[in-house]
């Protein structure tokens, strides 16, 4: 049980499930203290009205209230540190132990331990959500059976109670109540988990579709901008280099016009695969238009980005050789930009990379230009 409770803090849960367990744990702790308050006020009312109640029962009640208050405090301590499974097991075990003591000591009144066992089952089943709740239900029924049979009185030297048809009916009902409650709560908990898992899976799928180019499977423009914003913030904070390459395939429109758009789409997919193969896992290749691509290069200065451009050209040339002699060799024009110290936003880097690409296209096919070559712009400070 202890090992089971230690796993919750280190497991990765859905945030919605964590919030649900947090609210449920707090609600259970509040309910416990409310019931303890009602229990204490009831005992005090009996005492003030001089109602018949033995000193033994009152002492037991007061001890149980104090112990359960401590248990509630421990559960609250765990819940504040997000140990929700541990808080639920501590809370349920404390209530279960108090009910067990009541069943052994107060054999004349089994209503209190029966209610306590039921509450322990509900607490453990709701917060933990695992099969541990069935163990609580089974042990609770065994204890109640022994108490009603009178066997638990033997240790006190009392004569065991007689066991008749009425007691059998009561025990059968308690078995159904305990095990039925455990099964119901476990089923509801499993259903909640499954529902959250499906929602999480659907959310991931929608996010993947929103960030992926449907033709090539590369990142789309939205994902590129999101990732660029994160890398831009990180590079500025830690003063690390960051480069961006804009690519535009040369003469791709003629391929579509000559061989059709379906063949052109196949070529684009092959281009995406070929260029992705020469990039690092930290790099991001995105399709931002029809035959336009962008490559985000973290931890890379402008010289490193130029070397990456050469690798991309070789990969594209190798892929082009497999297309046959009827197609011209595929090339691209590239514009390379790097983060500057005075950049205020990602738009500054995007604008320079885009401008460099236009300079490359104006110079002809298979050209590369960098922001360093702009006469109207001062050289940036490399960071």
Note the pLDDT tens digit of each residue in 221-256. Answer: 999 999 999 999 999 999 999 999 999 999 888 888
Same domain, 174 and 229: no
Distance CA 118, CA 134 (A): 12
Boundary of a domain, candidates 206, 234, 260: 206
Letter string b/e over residues 353-372, b meaning 16 or more CB atoms within 10 A of that residue's CB: bbbbbebbbeeeebbbbbbb
Q: Which of 90, 5, 81, 72 is nearest to 36 (CA)?
A: 72
Report yes or no on 381 lying in a domain.
Answer: no
Distance CA 147, CA 338 (A): 79
Report yes or no on 213 lying in a domain.
Answer: no
Instruction: Give the pLDDT band (50/70/90) at residue 167.
Output: low
Instruction: Give the pLDDT band (50/70/90) at residue 48.
Output: confident
Report yes or no on 358 lying in a domain.
Answer: yes
Same domain, 22 and 112: yes
Distance CA 229, CA 207 (A): 17
Same domain, 157 and 10: yes
Rg of the chain over all Cα atoms, to the nearest angstrom: 35
Mean pLDDT value of segment 118-133 = 83
CA–CA distances in Å: residue 314 to residues 159, 307, 318: 95, 11, 6
Same domain, 190 and 258: no
Distance CA 117, CA 24 (A): 19
Report yes or no on 380 lying in a domain.
Answer: no
Number of domains in the chain: 2
Same domain, 225 and 249: yes
Report yes or no on 211 lying in a domain.
Answer: no
**What secondary structure letter does DSSP report for 130?**
S
Report yes or no on 229 lying in a domain.
Answer: yes
Same domain, 31 and 173: yes
Q: Which domain holds residue 189?
A: 2-206
Boundary of a domain, candidates 153, 172, 206: 206
Same domain, 250 and 131: no
Same domain, 244 and 135: no
Note the pLDDT tens digit of each residue in 346-370. Answer: 999 999 999 999 999 999 999 999 9
Same domain, 236 and 171: no
H-run or E-run covering 287: strand 284-287
**What secondary structure letter does DSSP report for 284?**
E
Same domain, 71 and 191: yes
Q: Which pLDDT score is estimated for 191? A: 83
pLDDT of 159 over the 50 cut: no
- At 312, which CATH number? 3.30.70.270
Contact 86, 8 (CB under 8 A): yes
Q: Which of 250, 255, 275 is nearest to 363 (CA)?
A: 250
Same domain, 6 and 125: yes
Left if phi > 0, otherwise alpha if psi is -120 to 50, otherwise beta: which for 377? beta
Q: Which of 12, 30, 9, 29 is nearest to 84 (CA)?
A: 9
Report yes or no on 215 lying in a domain.
Answer: no
Residues 110, 111, 112, 114, CA torsion sign: positive
Contact 82, 21 (CB under 8 A): no
The model's pTM is 0.58
Other Cβ atoms less than 10 A from the Cβ of 187: the count is 11
Report yes or no on 17 lying in a domain.
Answer: yes
- Which of the two residues, 62 and 276, has the higher pLDDT score? 276
Q: Report strand pairing: 368-370 vs 332-338.
A: parallel
Letter string b/e over residues 89-118, b meaning 16 or more CB atoms within 10 A of that residue's CB: bbbbbbbbbbbbbbbbebbeebebbbebbb
Q: Which pLDDT score is estimated for 278? A: 95
Same domain, 250 and 167: no
| Average pLDDT of the residues of the chain | 82
Q: Which pLDDT score is estimated for 149? A: 63
Boundary of a domain, candidates 206, 234, 266: 206
- Which of the two residues, 259 and 202, has the higher pLDDT score? 259
| DSSP conformation letters of 323-344 | T-TTSPPP-EEEEEEE--TT--
């Amino acid at each position: 049980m202890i090992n089971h409770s230690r796993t919750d803090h280190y497991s990765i849960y859905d945030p919605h499930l964590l919030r649900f367990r947090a609210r449920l744990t707090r609600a259970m702790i509040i309910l416990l203290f409310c019931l303890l308050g009602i229990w204490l006020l009831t005992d005090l009312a009996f005492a003030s009205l001089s109602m018949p109640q033995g000193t033994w029962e009152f002492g037991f009640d007061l001890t149980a209230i104090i112990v359960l208050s401590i248990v509630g405090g421990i559960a609250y301590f765990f819940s504040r540190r997000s140990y929700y499974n541990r808080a639920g097991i501590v809370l349920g075990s404390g209530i279960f132990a108090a009910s067990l003591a009541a069943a052994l000591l107060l054999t004349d009144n089994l209503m209190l331990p029966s209610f306590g066992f039921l509450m322990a089952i509900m607490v453990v089943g709701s917060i933990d959500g695992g099969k541990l709740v069935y163990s609580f239900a089974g042990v609770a029924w065994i204890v109640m059976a022994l108490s009603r049979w009178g066997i638990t009185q033997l240790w006190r030297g009392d004569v065991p109670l007689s066991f008749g048809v009425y007691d059998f009916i009561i025990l059968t009902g308690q078995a159904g109540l305990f095990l039925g409650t455990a099964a119901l709560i476990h089923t509801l908990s499993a259903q909640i988990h499954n529902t959250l898992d499906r929602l999480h899976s659907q959310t991931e799928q929608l996010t993947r579709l929103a960030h992926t180019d449907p033709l090539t499977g590369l990142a789309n423009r939205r994902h590129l901008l999101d990732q660029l914003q994160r890398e831009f913030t990180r590079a500025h904070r830690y003063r690390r280099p960051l480069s961006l390459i804009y690519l535009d395939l040369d003469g791709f429109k003629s391929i579509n016009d000559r061989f059709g758009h379906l063949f052109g789409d196949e070529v684009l997919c092959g281009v995406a695969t070929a260029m992705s193969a020469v990039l690092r896992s930290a790099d991001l290749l995105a399709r931002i238009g029809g035959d336009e691509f962008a490559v985000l290069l973290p931890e890379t200065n402008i010289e490193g980005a130029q070397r990456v451009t050469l690798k991309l050209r070789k990969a594209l040339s190798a892929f082009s050789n497999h297309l046959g002699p009827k197609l011209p060799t595929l090339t691209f024009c590239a514009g390379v930009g790097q983060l500057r110290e005075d950049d205020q936003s990602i738009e500054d880097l995007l604008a320079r990379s885009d401008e460099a690409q236009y300079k490359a296209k104006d110079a002809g096919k298979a050209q590369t230009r960098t922001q360093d070559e702009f006469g109207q712009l001062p050289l940036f400070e490399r960071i």
